[in-house]
Amino acid sequence: MTSTAVLLVLVVIAVMVAIIIFDVFTLGTKGRLNALRQWQALIGTMLGFVTGAGVLAISSAIQDETQVRRDREALVQVGHALRVEARDLDSVLARAQLLRETLMPSDPNKPAGCSGTVNELVDAFQRETPIYTAAVPNFIEVGEPNLALFVSFYAGFEELARAAKQYADNGCPVVAKETVTLFYSRVDAVRADFATIAEIYK
C-alpha cells in the first residue's frame, strides 16, 4: 500500500515534468524563456501541492497497513482464546470415547437406563461457548481464513451434544450398532477438527 502511494506521487511529478518540457521545447528560444517565466510561478505551488498530497497519501497508507497488522494480531489472539475453549469441548469428546461401551450400549442383553456416569457425561456436553459466540461476527467481518474450521468444530460438537441429550431424555435405551458407529464417527471427525485447530494455534 505504501509503495503504491509513493509510485502515484512519482507518476504525478513525472507527468508535470513532461508537460513543462513539452510546453517549453515546442516554442522558439524567446518563447521558451517566456514559458519558463510563466511556469516558474506555478512550479513552486504545484510541487508544494504534490508534496503535501504525497505525504498525506503515504501517511494514510502507513496507517492502513498498521491497522491491518493490528487486526491480524487480534485475530491470532482470538484464535488462541478459541483454542482454549475448544480444548475443553474436546476433553468431553475424549471422555465420550473412553465410555463408548457405557454411553451407548448396543448389546440387547444389557439393561437400558442412564447410569450416573452417563448422566454426568451428558451434562458435560451441555456447555456454553461465549468466546466462539463473540468471535464469529468479527471473523466474518475480516474474513478469518480459519472460520470454516472453527464452524465445523463447534457445529459438530453442538450436534453431538443434542444427540447425547436426546439419548438421555429417552432413558438411555439400547441402540443399534449402526447408531453407535455413526455417533462415534462424528466424534472422531470433530476431534480431528480440533487437532487441526490445536496445530494452527500452538
24 contact partners, CB below 8 Å, separation of at least 6 = 32, 35, 36, 39
Q: Where are the domains of the chain?
A: 2-66, 70-200
Q: Which grid coordinates belong to 159?
A: 450436534
CA 95 – CA 164 distance, rounded (Å): 13
CA 67 – CA 63 distance, rounded (Å): 6
pTM over 0.85: no
pLDDT for res 57 = 54
3-class state of residue 189 by DSSP: helix
202 residues of the chain, pLDDT tens digit each = 555 555 655 665 666 666 556 555 555 455 555 555 555 555 666 666 556 555 555 555 555 565 556 656 656 677 788 899 999 999 999 999 998 877 877 777 777 788 888 899 999 999 999 999 988 887 777 667 888 999 999 999 999 999 999 999 999 888 888 998 999 999 999 999 999 999 998 8
CB-based contact 26:37 (threshold 8 Å): no
3-class state of residue 24 by DSSP: helix
